[in-house]
């Protein structure tokens, strides 16, 4: 399956080997591009880290915490037709999908 994996958070989706999958990965944050440069360098990220300062993308995918206005951490798999095929919302930033768990989800969608 060709898909896009979007990670909406202040921390990026790990760039560990998802390359065997036919997908593109992006990470979005509501912080500015200038803040991303330091974060990317500090963590050695290879996944594009995109700025969603106005939270338009987060709002489009219901990844804004109601009443708080901050973005919620989420991993969303979107297929070539733009259909959300999988979504994992991280509860309070305490639970994360590992790369192996995400790979299993992608395999199950093929």
- Would you kindly state where each structural domain of the chain is located, as residue ranges? 3-102
Decide if pLDDT at 92 tops 70: no
pTM: 0.70
Report pLDDT digits (tens) over 34-65: 887 888 888 777 777 788 889 898 888 888 88
The per-residue pLDDT for range 12-34, each reduced to its tens digit, is: 444 445 554 566 777 788 888 88
d(CA 97, CA 102): 6
Residue 6's pLDDT is what?
54
Nearest-5° Cα angle at 64, 22 to 11: 55
State yes or no: pLDDT of 5 exceeds 60: no
Report the relative pairing of strands 74-79 and 49-51 from DSSP bridges.
unpaired
pLDDT of residue 11 exceeding 50: no
Neighbours of 6 (CB within 10 A): 23
**With pLDDT > 70 as the criterion, what percentage of the chain qualifies?**
75
Q: What is the mean pLDDT of residues 69-94?
A: 80
Q: Which CATH superfamily is domain 3-102 in?
A: Glutaredoxin (3.40.30.10)
């Amino acid at each position: 399956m060709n898909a896009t994996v979007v990670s909406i958070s202040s921390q990026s989706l790990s760039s560990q080997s998802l390359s065997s999958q036919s997908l593109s990965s992006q990470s979005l944050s509501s912080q500015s591009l200038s803040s991303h440069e330091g974060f990317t360098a500090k963590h050695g990220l290879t996944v594009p880290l995109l700025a969603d300062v106005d939270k338009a993308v987060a709002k489009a995918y219901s990844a804004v915490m109601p009443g708080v206005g901050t973005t919620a951490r989420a991993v969303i798999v979107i297929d070539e037709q733009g259909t959300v095929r999988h979504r994992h919302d991280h509860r309070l930033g305490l639970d994360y999908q590992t790369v192996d768990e995400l790979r299993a989800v992608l395999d199950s969608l093929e």
